[in-house]
Amino acid sequence: GRQVAGIGGQFDFVLGASRAPGGVSIIALPSTGRGGAVSRIVPRLAPGAAVTTPRYLVDWIVTEHGAVRLRGLGAKERAAALLTVAHPRFVEELARRATS
């Protein structure tokens, strides 16, 4: 539960991309971690998790399963959109947890 290092340049990069004339912020990541054992698309962050990029700055999320625009979406719409780029093995559980 303790952050060891300070933030790097990600926040500044995302902020600049989001605020540039005609710019958008794009977060590209693999849909899974730990050799495919866990989803990197999650319904909630763990208590104490460090957040580098606040959700209001994320315009697009891209995984190997596609790209989804999040800008302007509410919480429920964002959750539904993120399911479209999650690994198919985790979609059912993520959808269930998002609605509970």
Tens of pLDDT, residue by residue over 43-77, are 999 898 888 899 999 999 999 999 999 999 999 99
Whether the pLDDT of residue 2 is over 70: the answer is no
Contact 25, 17 (CB under 8 A): yes
Beta-strand (E) ranges in 1-100?
26-28, 32-33, 38-39, 60-63, 66-69
Q: Please tell me the distance from the alpha carbon of residue 71 to that of residue 57, in angstroms, as a whole number.
A: 8
Residue 52 confidence (pLDDT):
86
Q: Please tell me the distance from the alpha carbon of residue 30 to that of residue 70, in angstroms, as a whole number.
A: 17
What SS3 class is residue 60? strand
The model carries a pTM of 0.85
Q: Which residue has the higher pLDDT, 86 or 7?
A: 86
Residues 6+ apart with CB under 8 A from 82: 41, 61, 68, 70, 94
Residue 92 confidence (pLDDT):
96
Where does the pLDDT of residue 3 fall: very low under 50, low under 70, confident under 90, or very high at 90 and above? low
